[in-house]
Amino acid sequence: GNESSLSDKIILGYIGPITGESAIWGEAESNTLKMLVEETNNQGGILGKEVVLKIYDNRSDPVETTNAARRALQNDGVIAFIGPNTSSCAIALDEVCEEYKVPHITTCGTNYKVTQREEDGSVRKYSFRACLSDPQLGDIMGQYAYEKLGIEKAAIIYEITNEYSLGITQNFTDAFEKVGGKVTIQEGYKTGDVDFRPQLSKIKAAGDFDALMIPANYKEVGLIANQARALGITQSFLGVDAWMMEDLFEIAKDAVQGTYFPCAMDVNAENLEEFKNKFEEKFKMDPGKAGTNAYFAYDCFQIVKNAIEKAGEPDPQKIRDAMENTKNLQCLTSVITIVPETHNPIRMASIFKIEGDNFVKVEEYTPDYSK
């Protein structure tokens, strides 16, 4: 890097999948950031300095993530990262960030371990997230399902090879059983599977459940929902935040009607319209096509920007401290406060119901953490 030009610029890094099968999410996120950086620079930058965004592809691969991060830090002088959007990569990234003492904030890495250590629950100093964590979402859905939807027995079909699906399954089960429900049957499948009828047949034969929980990405959700209906499973489904993808309707509109799921944000909120229009105009692409990622990337940028401003100088350590102390910051999707002990955000969660091809917000719901 060139020393003299570095000091008068603020260099942010984005790490995410630009190639490979998850590229669509990386694209939505990186485009959002490109747009925001451009806007910020038009308004005079941050602290009067020009913001530069560097984009690094990681193919959703943890090893590549660390390579990219080293390059960003060493060659390009990045002072804070936004992304990546999967937990496994976020955890891998943290190892590098810890070494260089540079903060990063994941858009959708929901796993507990992204911000906290497994052994003792201690916080990972440089790791933040803008979304809710799996335990938070699991709590919400477990309690909501039992208390509001009146579901007493649940079946789960989950992806054993996916940390996200696995995490939610565990946290949902914990929360659900704590309040009095019971998970009667759990079946697993592997990443990449497209046929779930063997598992679903077994679930159907077991029969003893009021709702089928499907903690999965929308493709699997769509296929599972279709196949479950085709096999004659008539019980309702329960979903998770990853359901918030419009493409789901294309795959399985009929099958998922009436399903409830929680999400940390409302993609139909009115205040998103302006952003959506700008985005659409600039990139000829509906940010909603990639689910919630673009909006979370927006939040992340605001948290980082706010932190740099509060820190007063582009010093990674100070930015980190400021991020940790984010309080009641109005972001795109919610007001956000970062909990210093966990680096999880405190933010509203909403429950959605699928009606027609709409995600209808039913209510905002904060779980009772005392239960």
Partner 1 sequence: MNNYVIGVLSLTGIYMIAILGVSILTGFTGLFSMGHAGFMAIGAYVSALATKSFGISPFFGVFLGMLAATAVGLAIGYPTLKLKGDYFVIATLGIGEVVRLIIENLPSVTGGARGMTDIPRGSSFSVVWVTVIALVILLRNFLHSKHGRNCIAVREEELAASAIGINVANYKLLAMGISCALCGISGGMLAHYMRYLNPSMFSMAKSNELLMTVILGGCGSLTGTVIASLILVPLPEILRFGSVQEWRMVFYGFLVTLVIIFKPSGLLGNKEFSLADLKNVLLRTAQRFLGKMSEGGKRKNV
Partner 2 sequence: MFFQELINGLSIGSVYALMAVGYSLIYSLLNFTNFAHSITVTIGAFVTFYFLSMVTKNLFLGIVIATGLAGLLAVVIELLGYRPLINKNARRIYLLIVGLGISIMSENLVIIAFSSRFRVYPVNFSNRTIEIFGANAGVIDLIIFSVSVIALVLVELLIQKSRLGLAIRGAAVNLDATSLMGVDVQKLIRIVFLIAGSLAGLAGALLGAKYTTFPMLGSVMTNKAFISSVVGGLGSIPGAVLGGLILGISESMISGYLSSTMRDIFAYLLLVLILFIRPSGLLGKSSEDKA
Ligand X SMILES: CC(C)C[C@H](N)C(=O)O
341 CB-near residues (< 8 Å, 6+ apart):
123
What, of partner 2, ligand X, partner 1, none, does residue 342 touch, CB below 5 to 8 Å by kind? none
341 sits near partner 2 (criterion: CB under 8 A): no
Work out how close the CB of 72 gets to partner 1 at its nearest, in angstroms, rounded to a whole number.
Answer: 8
30 sits near ligand X (criterion: CB under 6 A): no
Work out how close the CB of 290 gets to partner 2 at its nearest, in angstroms, rounded to a whole number.
Answer: 9
φ and ψ of 272, to 5 deg:
-85, -15
CA 229/CA 106 separation, integer angstroms: 35
Q: What does the DSSP assignment read for 16-63?
A: E-SSSTTHHHHHHHHHHHHHHHHHHHHTT-BTTBEEEEEEEE-TT-HH
Q: Which of residues 108-167 bind partner 2 (CB under 8 A)?
A: 160
Q: CA-CA distances (angstroms) from residue 329 to 105, 128, 133, 302?
A: 15, 15, 19, 9
Sign of the dihedral defined by the CA atoms of residues 164, 250, 19, 50, in that order:
negative
DSSP code, position 198: H
Work out how close the CB of 282 gets to partner 1 at its nearest, in angstroms, rounded to a whole number.
Answer: 16
330 sits near partner 1 (criterion: CB under 8 A): no
Work out how close the CB of 344 gets to partner 1 at its nearest, in angstroms, rounded to a whole number.
Answer: 17
CA 152/CA 170 separation, integer angstroms: 17
Work out how close the CB of 123 gets to ligand X at its nearest, in angstroms, rounded to a whole number.
Answer: 18
- Compare residues 139 and 266 and give the one whose CB is closer to partner 1: 139
Q: Which of residues 68-107 bind ligand X (CB under 6 A)?
A: 85-87
Work out how close the CB of 160 gets to partner 2 at its nearest, in angstroms, rounded to a whole number.
Answer: 5
- The count of residues interacting with ligand X (CB under 6 A) is 11
186 sits near partner 1 (criterion: CB under 8 A): no
Question: Tokens in use for 250?
Answer: 């294309």
Work out how close the CB of 229 gets to partner 2 at its nearest, in angstroms, rounded to a whole number.
Answer: 6
φ and ψ of 370, to 5 deg:
-75, -20
CA 131/CA 354 separation, integer angstroms: 21
What, of partner 2, ligand X, partner 1, none, does residue 232 touch, CB below 5 to 8 Å by kind? partner 2
- The count of residues interacting with partner 2 (CB under 8 A) is 38
* 52 close to 10: Cβ distance less than 8 angstroms: yes
317 CB-near residues (< 8 Å, 6+ apart):
101
Q: Which of residues 179-218 bind partner 2 (CB under 8 A)?
A: 187-190, 192-195, 197-199, 201-202, 204-205, 218
Helix (H, G, I), strand (E, B) or coil at 369: coil
C-alpha count within 13 angstroms, C-beta hemisphere, residue 261: 29
- The count of residues interacting with partner 1 (CB under 8 A) is 40
What, of partner 1, ligand X, partner 2, none, does residue 219 touch, CB below 5 to 8 Å by kind? partner 2
What, of partner 1, ligand X, partner 2, none, does residue 62 touch, CB below 5 to 8 Å by kind? partner 1
Contact stretch for partner 2 (CB under 8 A) within 22-30, 32-40, 114-122, 137-145: 22-30
Helices (H), the chain: 3-7, 23-42, 62-75, 87-100, 134-147, 163-178, 197-206, 218-230, 247-252, 273-283, 293-311, 316-324
74 sits near partner 1 (criterion: CB under 8 A): yes
CA 187/CA 160 separation, integer angstroms: 9
Q: Which residues bind ligand X (CB under 6 A)?
A: 25, 85-87, 108-111, 164, 217, 242
Q: Which residues bind partner 2 (CB under 8 A)?
A: 19-24, 27, 160, 187-190, 192-195, 197-199, 201-202, 204-205, 218-219, 222-223, 226, 229-232, 247, 250-251, 254-255, 289
Q: Which residues bind partner 1 (CB under 8 A)?
A: 18-20, 23, 55-57, 59, 61-64, 66-68, 70-71, 73-75, 87-88, 91-92, 94-95, 111, 113, 117-119, 159-163, 166-167, 190-191
